[in-house]
Chains A and B, each alone.
Chain A
């Protein structure tokens, strides 16, 4: 640390002062000895925008709660989103994508022309036989929209007229982690910001007392496949945009409570002083992460009161618990998380992400999926009904679905009452409802085998582009410069699925 702290040695030229902040003599010498060439090149190319400097780091104050100043790009439909992520890959063939012809073809070999040489996972690639497997569950049509739902989801069947089923989802990933990472960050490799972080970065927060991106993971799920915190990470975005996980139990957010024997009375004073110290650092280095740190301390301070308040369920009447199911009385279950999600949405939290694991039925599917549905179906439907009656579905988007679908052929031996299904990225079903999404609609079609999409495919990037669109964001314009190039959630792809919008 050196001359930049010394007023008399500082330049009076404002531009130079900015440089001095970021680069003192020692750093300058270190960097230039290696980087003078690139420096010269950079200045030569400065007219090309791609080589121009990083966007200026705004001061915290000017940031406010508004996100980026030119957003939204157009009038939004949605203000908040609840993403009910069903991790593991729920079987579309046993839940929503009804394939009556499979009943006749049950047990027959999947024709090669349908599979068309598709690479399979290591788990079923060695199988000598690929017997097509119709669902063990009965399907019925419901509501005015006559949507097909299997008997596993009697409660979801009641709300089909609110939902828009997308039966033609596609992804490029066949394994859990890359596929979930792809859905949440737009790329199969770790390191990109998640959708919630992008929305927080772009649109800011609507409630200064709670994080704009909150994550709830079911404790009552089969945790066969891990979930990593990076799925709600901020990637290269400033770190105040990362998702905050609320846990069940007495500490919903870790390290938020005061330590034993400390009453917290001088906390405000301590934080103010810490903030002034951090601001000195920011003035010196201009690093956005310093602002992020200040923002996080402030947020944590406000959360010390706001989080116990919002997670306090004592004011909820009994009929609410009956609606979401008795499990909703037990914090941390999927049902309780759905109820908590509604409370967070009422507080204008922008993005509530639920995860419920255990949909990975490679074998023993009928029992496994029945168990999954029992834990989730009622609460999911109750959440939609509850949002609807409160008027919140007008500007809240709800998305339900997993990272991929499951194969039509049985993994392992097909027996009269048992079968399994492997990962299937070529087609699967998701549903969306609420803000700006056409209710009572089914979009896209799969073939009679439930193997390929035959009409209106929707890729992961398309879904992401559509979600951003509902928030008034042009997915091609929300970018962040990192490592010398601009990144966006949808990478270089994505088309808004306009036909599912109102």
Chain B
């Protein structure tokens, strides 16, 4: 018998749309009658309200059966249930009042219909929240802080990310928690917190630390999708291969420890998870867009501009010697608007002066800088030490001396330094002091 009730009860989500439609069309018709004075349509209002009242009663009954079948509980359900019954009562009242229109004041009728709309909306809203989750409606709302609140917590860097909080939780949130959460508790399982996850559901614990083989959660998500026990159920979006790998890793290697760090995981898993973290500052560089007009402007004055990566809007900019025409100092100023986007910069043999290097030292994302064959000296080069992302620096044929290497050595990211055709030679103490991580090339 219970099974039959559950079966019937599950028609509730389908059926509820009927009373919503009937009752709303009745109210709209009423508004139309009042505004356009078409009294003949009153009969239709009565008819719609009657249909609405009957279907609302059936919907409420189905809903009651569904709530008895388990899997739903808590405050949300109570509110929905109450709002539902009130809507049924209100719709019958509204039908009665409209049918005997003459006996009641018009004002009372209008108030009644207004309240009906409100209870209908309240019941509908909480019903939706029960099915899809409380934050379903507002998760992507453009107002307020909802968007931020729904995003992952902000991290200073990837090193401090924790596997459970920053990787597993977001997966569970998007794939599992619409059913397995406080208030809905399908299978008596609540996956919203570490503690409740470890408690498990009606069939016992869902995961056993260091034992993926016997962890029900892993077994369920790995089943063929047409299997009865497959999760997520009812055609909801299944977990991806990487998501399953991550959860398995956390249970097996991470011992289901909530504090295990992301960086302890396998390289490939980290590579998948890292871009999904909400790391401070990372967002800023990723959103800078490529401004085509700006690029064309640079190309018109003689630069060659190449996009290195669409994602970070990184640019490779070359000033060919033939375009420089002795105006390099002037031209380089044109790069200021895109200075954070310049990752590779070639200013070889264009007549760059020491004074121009202070400008270039503001290009904080520079990774590769070619300055060969320019009349630049130690004085100008020292300002490059503020380029904290610089990896390759080409100073071939410049007037740098050994002493000029001091500031360069401060650049921690540097890995290649070219000093061919300079007065520096490999035997100088300055060179020997350079970090061994830097490849210093002098030529053959």
Which residues does A use to contact B, with CB under 8 Å?
Answer: 64-66, 70-76, 79, 203-204, 206-208, 323, 348, 385-386, 388-391, 394-395, 472
Query: Are B309 and A472 neighbours in the complex by a CB distance under 8 Å?
Result: yes
Query: Are B441 and A389 neighbours in the complex by a CB distance under 8 Å?
Result: yes
Q: Is B362 an interface residue (CB 8 A)?
A: no
Question: Is chain A's binding surface mostly helix, strand, loop or mixed?
Answer: loop
Query: Are B318 and A391 neighbours in the complex by a CB distance under 8 Å?
Result: no
In the complex, chain B residues whose CB is within 8 Å of the CB of A204: 306
Name the CB-closest residue of A to B310.
Answer: A70
**A482 CB → nearest B CB, Å:** 25
Query: Are B304 and A391 neighbours in the complex by a CB distance under 8 Å?
Result: no
Query: Are B312 and A75 neighbours in the complex by a CB distance under 8 Å?
Result: yes
| Residues of B347-373 contacting chain A, CB below 8 A | 368, 370, 372
Query: Are B396 and A79 neighbours in the complex by a CB distance under 8 Å?
Result: no
B interface, size bucket:
20 to 34
Which residue in A73, A75, A348 is a CB contact (below 8 Å) of B314? A75
Q: Is B430 an interface residue (CB 8 A)?
A: no
Could you mark each residue 6-39 of chain B with 1 if its beta carbon is under 8 Å from any beta carbon of chain A, else 0? 0000000000000000000000000000000000
In angstroms, Cα B308 to Cα A394, docked, is 15
Query: Are A394 and B309 neighbours in the complex by a CB distance under 8 Å?
Result: no
In angstroms, Cα B444 to Cα A323, docked, is 9
In the complex, chain A residues whose CB is within 8 Å of the CB of B311: 74
Knowing A348-B304, A391-B392, the reply to whether A72 touches B309 (Cβ < 8 A) is yes
Q: Can you name 13 A-B residue pairings with CB atoms under 8 Å?
A: A66-B307, A72-B308, A73-B310, A75-B308, A75-B314, A76-B309, A79-B316, A204-B306, A207-B320, A388-B441, A390-B372, A391-B416, A391-B418
In angstroms, Cα B296 to Cα A271, docked, is 24
Knowing A74-B309, A74-B311, A395-B368, the reply to whether A389 touches B304 (Cβ < 8 A) is no
**A154 CB → nearest B CB, Å:** 15
Question: Is chain B's binding surface mostly helix, strand, loop or mixed?
Answer: strand
Name the CB-closest residue of A to B346.
Answer: A348
Query: Are B316 and A389 neighbours in the complex by a CB distance under 8 Å?
Result: no
Q: Is B87 an interface residue (CB 8 A)?
A: no
Which residue in B316, B344, B441 is a CB contact (below 8 Å) of A391? B441
In the complex, chain A residues whose CB is within 8 Å of the CB of B416: 391, 394
Name the CB-closest residue of B to A204.
Answer: B306
In the complex, chain A residues whose CB is within 8 Å of the CB of B370: 391
Apart from A391-B420, A394-B368, A395-B344, list 18 A-B contacts with CB within 8 A: A65-B299, A65-B304, A66-B306, A70-B310, A71-B310, A75-B314, A75-B343, A76-B308, A206-B304, A206-B306, A206-B318, A207-B304, A348-B304, A390-B372, A390-B420, A391-B416, A391-B441, A472-B309
Q: Is B443 an interface residue (CB 8 A)?
A: yes
Knowing A75-B312, A348-B318, the reply to whether A391 touches B307 (Cβ < 8 A) is no
In angstroms, Cα B441 to Cα A71, docked, is 32
Query: Are A472 and B444 neighbours in the complex by a CB distance under 8 Å?
Result: no
Top 9 closest pairs, chain A to chain B, by CB: A389-B443, A391-B394, A391-B418, A75-B309, A389-B420, A394-B392, A385-B444, A75-B308, A389-B444
**Residue among A70, A385, A394 with max Cβ neighbours from chain B (10 Å):** A394
In the complex, chain A residues whose CB is within 8 Å of the CB of B310: 70-73
Could you mark each residue 392-407 of chain B with 1 if its beta carbon is under 8 Å from any beta carbon of chain A, else 0? 1010100000000000
In the complex, chain A residues whose CB is within 8 Å of the CB of B442: 389
In angstroms, Cα B315 to Cα A75, docked, is 10
Query: Are B308 and A391 neighbours in the complex by a CB distance under 8 Å?
Result: no
In angstroms, Cα B421 to Cα A386, docked, is 13
In angstroms, Cα B314 to Cα A73, docked, is 12
In angstroms, Cα B344 to Cα A472, docked, is 14
**A499 CB → nearest B CB, Å:** 12
In angstroms, Cα B309 to Cα A73, docked, is 7
In the complex, chain B residues whose CB is within 8 Å of the CB of A74: 309, 311
In the complex, chain A residues whose CB is within 8 Å of the CB of B420: 389-391
In the complex, chain A residues whose CB is within 8 Å of the CB of B344: 395
In angstroms, Cα B348 to Cα A394, docked, is 15
Could you mark each residue 319-356 of chain B with 1 if its beta carbon is under 8 Å from any beta carbon of chain A, else 0? 01000000000000000000000011000000000000
**A320 CB → nearest B CB, Å:** 11
In the complex, chain B residues whose CB is within 8 Å of the CB of A70: 310
In the complex, chain B residues whose CB is within 8 Å of the CB of A348: 304, 318, 320
In the complex, chain B residues whose CB is within 8 Å of the CB of A66: 306-307
**A303 CB → nearest B CB, Å:** 15
In the complex, chain A residues whose CB is within 8 Å of the CB of B441: 388-389, 391
Which residue in A64, A76, A391 is a CB contact (below 8 Å) of B396? A391
In angstroms, Cα B299 to Cα A267, docked, is 25
**A328 CB → nearest B CB, Å:** 15
**Residue among B310, B368, B372, B416 with max Cβ neighbours from chain A (10 Å):** B310
Could you mark each residue 206-250 of chain B with 1 if its beta carbon is under 8 Å from any beta carbon of chain A, else 0? 000000000000000000000000000000000000000000000
**B39 CB → nearest A CB, Å:** 48
**B359 CB → nearest A CB, Å:** 22
In the complex, chain A residues whose CB is within 8 Å of the CB of B307: 66, 71-72
Name the CB-closest residue of B to A319.
Answer: B444
In the complex, chain B residues whose CB is within 8 Å of the CB of A71: 307, 310
In the complex, chain B residues whose CB is within 8 Å of the CB of A391: 370, 372, 392, 394, 396, 416, 418, 420, 441
In angstroms, Cα B443 to Cα A386, docked, is 8
In angstroms, Cα B168 to Cα A219, docked, is 63
**Residue among A203, A207, A391, A394 with max Cβ neighbours from chain B (10 Å):** A391
In angstroms, Cα B312 to Cα A471, docked, is 16
| Residues of B128-174 contacting chain A, CB below 8 A | none
In angstroms, Cα B7 to Cα A28, docked, is 59
In angstroms, Cα B312 to Cα A72, docked, is 11
In the complex, chain B residues whose CB is within 8 Å of the CB of A208: 304
Name the CB-closest residue of B to A306.
Answer: B322
In angstroms, Cα B414 to Cα A394, docked, is 13
**B303 CB → nearest A CB, Å:** 11
In the complex, chain B residues whose CB is within 8 Å of the CB of A207: 304, 320
In the complex, chain B residues whose CB is within 8 Å of the CB of A394: 368, 392, 394, 416
**A441 CB → nearest B CB, Å:** 15
**A380 CB → nearest B CB, Å:** 14
In the complex, chain A residues whose CB is within 8 Å of the CB of B318: 206, 348
In the complex, chain A residues whose CB is within 8 Å of the CB of B308: 72, 75-76, 472
Name the CB-closest residue of B to A75.
Answer: B309
In the complex, chain B residues whose CB is within 8 Å of the CB of A79: 316
Name the CB-closest residue of A to B316.
Answer: A79
In the complex, chain B residues whose CB is within 8 Å of the CB of A76: 308-309
In angstroms, Cα B418 to Cα A74, docked, is 26
In angstroms, Cα B296 to Cα A66, docked, is 11
